[in-house]
Amino acid sequence: MDTTYNVKFWKTSVYKGSRKTTYTVRWELDGKEWRQPCATAALADSFRAGLLTAARRGEAFSLATGRPIAHRSGAADVNWYAFAVRFCDHQWARTSGNNRKNVAKALMTTTIALLRARPSGFESIDIRRALREYAFNTRRREEAPPEMAAILKWVERNALSMGSWEDPVKVDEVLRALSTLLDGSAAAASSIKRNRRILNVAMEYAVKHRVLRSNPLPKGKGTAPKTSSAVDKRSLLNRSQAAHLLSWVRRRRRGGSRLHPFFATMYYAGPRPEEAVAMDVIDVRLPDEDAEDQWGELLLHTAQPEVGKHWTDTGEVHEERGLKGRAEDDMRSVPCRPALTKILRNHIEAEGLKPGDRLFRGEAGEMLAGSVIRRAWGRARKEVLSPEEYASPLGKRVYDLRHTCLTNWLNDGVPPAQVADWAGNSVPVLLAIYARCVTGHLHDLKRRIERGGELPEVDADH
């Protein structure tokens, strides 16, 4: 690492903002200015005094970090791989199964970018598997087979130290790796943002435990790609398309009679897939068959996302959780329109389901698997849609049934606050996602604007 003894110090600058005052220590190394903002004058004086003392002792300053070499923390003595395993274990009990998988993937990519040399005795795919499935999986690390354990020992020996995070060039290399797919193409903006968020948490953990002095990741606008939460309007189904797709699923020879009510519930009531598969028969409140009002009610209180047995605490494929964004024991109700009431009533009777049974089940009575759901929906799209529609985003994901349902509610004039309550979203999130998809009101809005913007007639003589 390049160093210098050419150091100059400047007076601490004080900036008084509307909310707080910032004290910035300034110094210069070989003509390049460095700054360190501090929250109080005392902290600024203490930090500046440390730099002055180091300069008077004749210590070299790092051109990469701007700090005296002696100011470096114990980062050089901490192996990145050992730290990453420690961070993974810290996060394990605090996060969901899906988050655990995402952390493992981000740490895997970062670790490969922080190796001293390219492996010659192992295949790249095996190294990625060893890191993702064993090193950064708290439950399975001790279960690693001999060939995976050998790879992990090699990785630990060849991983750089935490001191490498003090080199901006190395930080850029890691961020570039997290932004690139294996084939060299750019990763999706959402994936890049998620990876950077995970890495930022890791860096803050390093600072908290005094492995690093400060978070080395770049801050501010432009450091991460912009993402949009808005729904792609092309993915929404019209009523005719939805009817043909659901009809094809119902006629499907294998499991169609069980899958049709699931997809119909997604389309008419808009639950998330993990909420729908978690519903029991008792959660469906249906009116009597001879009742004049055939509106029912669905009670949602549990979600069971499909995570994978290696990432849950129980070893089950699904992980039981509360509703997204709500308290652990919270629930919400969704209206069950007459068309869905009829479908669910017939489904419960045909399957002979009891109140304590799961509403949607697999062939052997087990929880409905995500692979079965996706395969059936994909087949329905291929059989029903035209080649052009099939190649488009139209209804490409099962989740698009929920998007279509919520959009229909908004277009039918249901107030956003009510739609948000039924959907389990906040109003700001709902509008950010679906505002672009609200249609059918433009003509009326134009008339309102025209009426409101009319200027009174003025006599030309005056």
Q: What is the pLDDT of residue 381?
A: 97
Asked if 437 and 410 count as a contact pair (C-beta separation under 8 A), the reply is yes
Maximum C-alpha span of the chain: 98
Residue 115, CA distances (Å) to 91, 108, 451 in order: 23, 11, 68
Q: Which residue has the tokens 């699904």?
A: 318
What are the residue ranges in the chain where pLDDT is below 50?
A: none
> b or e along 350-383 (b: 16 or more beta carbons within 10 Å of the residue's beta carbon)?
ebebeeeebbbbbeeeebbebebbeebbeebbee
DSSP string covering 31-54? TEEEEEEESSHHHHHHHHHHHHHH
Q: What is the pLDDT of residue 354?
A: 94
Supply angle C-alpha 265, 270, 273, rounded to 5.
Answer: 75
* C-alpha 176: how far from chain center: 19
Helix/strand/coil for 330: coil
Asked if 158 and 117 count as a contact pair (C-beta separation under 8 A), the reply is yes
Q: What is the pLDDT of residue 182?
A: 87
pLDDT digits (tens, 9 = 90+) for 338-347: 999 999 999 9
